[in-house]
A and B are shown apart, each in its own frame.
Chain A
């Protein structure tokens, strides 16, 4: 049964497939009630969650699973408040990168005992496991990894006389292509990279991507944060070059209050030339029939040592440390983590399936972006779930925002970056790397 026929048959058929996919290994004899929480604005995932819940309830007639999608525009804040006040769902879906912070805060349960008895865990490679591991324990189970791509509009490229099969080899080539679009389509936004507070987590992702591209890292092998290094300087210089010197990234990318929604929309409408974004946007564009595969070009971001892809482990399932019935919660997570479900969901909402065996599923391989996602997976860097990551985001937003707005030079901004990071992380946790 393929994904389309599964969805056409509704969640009952999907639940049947989940049961079949679990090979009858779903836990049985469980009773009680649990609640499941996730961000309800994700249109793709709801039916799959419903199907996994149904499969567990079918295998366990005494069990009840209540699925409560959140409609809050700020799901993260809502969940944080719920966790703090002890009213959070028993099992919830949120980004896997938060595993370190949630574990350090004592909000989630370690999954050691569960994964030790689950043969599916062997299908998660070391990098994926590391992406949800903190203090030596796994805390979450991801379903799909999320690589970043350089998306570009082939129609705007052709108007600018550029190669529609463009694959940039240097960062300078991106600026040159954007400058050509700026000339040929003056009303368009040639290039978008996120800076400042409005870019939210994506500002930190773009910053990290540029650090990687310049051959650097954010943290040294001893776990200390770099407050100054050549890659950090070159990254901030790139922001200045893109926003201020060439202006190929116009100021509205910085000043728009929700660029994470607006820029992908501009791209889908043919008003934006080059966009650095995650794989999942491709699925949104396709679902809206906003563009076809012929209009969108996909490239990997160029680095000093060849193409690269920043990624993250995407959203992952956690068990609330206050959950009254964690075994039932795990049964749900297990049901959601079958090969069939991951392949079908990752095909509809383009991701790299977290399970290695789901990457061979024909359903997923048929999806038009899968070749590029597989290619990206060979050069993908997944940041570790560092507990202090949230604090870093605010420091990065400030430094990039100052440079992009023309209120500080890269050297001034790096000084601020260093001061703020030192204040935030503590003097003993920061270091510098000489830059000739």
Chain B
């Protein structure tokens, strides 16, 4: 049995194009100018500087030589680096694991559970919500040390518990390094998605579900036909934000594995950091950052198209 889905208004219906005469746009231009200046100062100019630097030999340890223009040499170097495919793969696995599965899907599932608990006025609902928020308010460095303390092979909480239960110890950071960093990053970022999803769930009128229930919809049908369509823009937004932040995020990996063992967790962002601030090769590090920027743009465009397509 199928329940007709609610026809939520598309973007084009809610936001008709504004057509004004030339003179009428002045107040908008004035209003938008501070934002444009700030955006230029803190994003566009630094981004242009990074793109320019990626075409130079700038190195912190070669002050005498200065920044020589080398064209696309840094990109050629990157292309011929046999480990580069591994860094791309690690970045994609880390992003899909932490941003898409851990934070977005995990955040949605927990938001559904907490929303259900709140609707039924369960006493533990606020406790669960607060517990989920802890990862978010925890500074990333501290979060890294917390997970380091959990995963530590000899004295960590996980292995101490396993030993107490007479089970063999697990070398999480050695045997499952990518899973470990995905888990830790998901925990830290999940509350952002959860918070947004929870607010979105609470904005869906109860009548919608009541009507669907009267029509005989199951829980799964209500979720598939009512909840998901109502939240498609929010899901796209959360996916966009978590993906872009996760592609550029390396602090958790730096603290837990530093990219080891044998580059098993070295992402493009972490490799850019290592090149720029360990080997002081700023030009090459900038080239890696540009690749990361392109990857973020690809994901951003993909999500925006996806959201637009689902709206149409």
Interface residues of A (CB under 8 A from B): 74, 77, 80-81, 83-84, 101-102, 104-107, 196-198, 251-252, 254-257, 266, 271, 390-391, 394, 398, 401-402, 404-405, 407-408, 416, 419, 423
Contacts of A423 in B (CB 8 A): 77, 80
* Residue B262 interfacial (CB < 8 Å): yes
Known contacts A391-B279, A398-B263, A401-B263; decide if A84 and B257 are in contact (CB<8 Å): no
Chain B, interface SS category: loop
| Shortest distance from the beta carbon of B224 to any chain A beta carbon, whole Å | 43
Q: Besides the contacts A105-B65, A255-B153, A401-B260, what 20 more A-B pairs have beta carbons closer than 8 Å? A: A80-B61, A101-B61, A106-B64, A196-B262, A198-B260, A251-B171, A251-B175, A251-B261, A252-B154, A255-B171, A255-B260, A257-B148, A257-B173, A257-B260, A271-B154, A394-B279, A401-B261, A401-B262, A401-B263, A423-B77
Known contacts A107-B63, A252-B174, A255-B173; decide if A402 and B262 are in contact (CB<8 Å): yes
Per the bound structure, the CA–CA distance linking A57 and B263 in Å amounts to 51
Per the bound structure, the CA–CA distance linking A83 and B64 in Å amounts to 11
Q: Which residue of B lies closest to A419 (CB)?
A: B82
Can you sample 18 A-B contacts with CB below 8 Å? A77-B278, A77-B280, A83-B60, A83-B63, A84-B63, A105-B63, A105-B65, A197-B258, A251-B261, A252-B171, A255-B173, A255-B174, A256-B173, A398-B262, A401-B262, A405-B261, A408-B262, A419-B82
Question: 0/1 per residue, B150-182, Cβ < 8 Å to A?
Answer: 000110000000000000000101110100000
Question: 0/1 per residue, B57-73, Cβ < 8 Å to A?
Answer: 00111111100000000
Per the bound structure, the CA–CA distance linking A144 and B49 in Å amounts to 43
- Whether B171 contacts A257 by the Cβ 8 Å rule is no
Contacts of B60 in A (CB 8 A): 80-81, 83-84
Per the bound structure, the CA–CA distance linking A174 and B154 in Å amounts to 23
Contacts of B64 in A (CB 8 A): 104-106
Ordered nearest first, which 4 A-B pairs have the shortest CB separation?
A106-B64, A405-B262, A255-B174, A405-B261
Contacts of A266 in B (CB 8 A): 154
Contacts of B154 in A (CB 8 A): 252, 266, 271
| Shortest distance from the beta carbon of A140 to any chain B beta carbon, whole Å | 15
| Shortest distance from the beta carbon of A355 to any chain B beta carbon, whole Å | 29
Within 8 A of A (CB), among B74-115: 77, 80, 82-83
Q: Which residue of B lies closest to A413 (CB)?
A: B262
- Whether A390 contacts B61 by the Cβ 8 Å rule is yes
Per the bound structure, the CA–CA distance linking A80 and B279 in Å amounts to 10
* Residue B292 interfacial (CB < 8 Å): no
- Whether A257 contacts B280 by the Cβ 8 Å rule is no
Per the bound structure, the CA–CA distance linking A423 and B73 in Å amounts to 12
* Residue B285 interfacial (CB < 8 Å): no
Contacts of A105 in B (CB 8 A): 59, 61-65
Contacts of B279 in A (CB 8 A): 390-391, 394
Per the bound structure, the CA–CA distance linking A157 and B256 in Å amounts to 32
| Shortest distance from the beta carbon of B135 to any chain A beta carbon, whole Å | 20
- Whether B263 contacts A254 by the Cβ 8 Å rule is no
Per the bound structure, the CA–CA distance linking A251 and B261 in Å amounts to 9
- Whether B174 contacts A254 by the Cβ 8 Å rule is yes
- Whether A254 contacts B261 by the Cβ 8 Å rule is yes
- Whether A404 contacts B261 by the Cβ 8 Å rule is yes
Which of A83, A197, A402 has the most chain B CB atoms inside 10 A of its CB?
A: A197
Per the bound structure, the CA–CA distance linking A248 and B54 in Å amounts to 44
Q: Which residue of A lies closest to B177 (CB)?
A: A255
Within 8 A of A (CB), among B259-279: 259-264, 274, 277-279
Contacts of A405 in B (CB 8 A): 260-262, 264
Q: Which residue of B lies closest to A81 (CB)?
A: B60
Per the bound structure, the CA–CA distance linking A398 and B86 in Å amounts to 13
* Residue B255 interfacial (CB < 8 Å): yes
Which of A106, A254, A256, A407 has the most chain B CB atoms inside 10 A of its CB?
A: A256
- Whether B262 contacts A252 by the Cβ 8 Å rule is no
| Shortest distance from the beta carbon of A248 to any chain B beta carbon, whole Å | 16
Q: Which residue of B lies closest to A403 (CB)?
A: B262
Contacts of B262 in A (CB 8 A): 196, 398, 401-402, 404-405, 407-408
Per the bound structure, the CA–CA distance linking A252 and B155 in Å amounts to 12
Per the bound structure, the CA–CA distance linking A131 and B173 in Å amounts to 38
Per the bound structure, the CA–CA distance linking A407 and B174 in Å amounts to 13
Q: Which residue of B lies closest to A200 (CB)?
A: B278
Contacts of B280 in A (CB 8 A): 77, 80, 390
Per the bound structure, the CA–CA distance linking A74 and B273 in Å amounts to 13
| Shortest distance from the beta carbon of B307 to any chain A beta carbon, whole Å | 39
Contacts of A81 in B (CB 8 A): 60
Known contacts A77-B278, A251-B261, A407-B262; decide if A257 and B63 are in contact (CB<8 Å): no
Q: Which residue of A lies closest to B163 (CB)?
A: A187
- Whether B277 contacts A77 by the Cβ 8 Å rule is yes
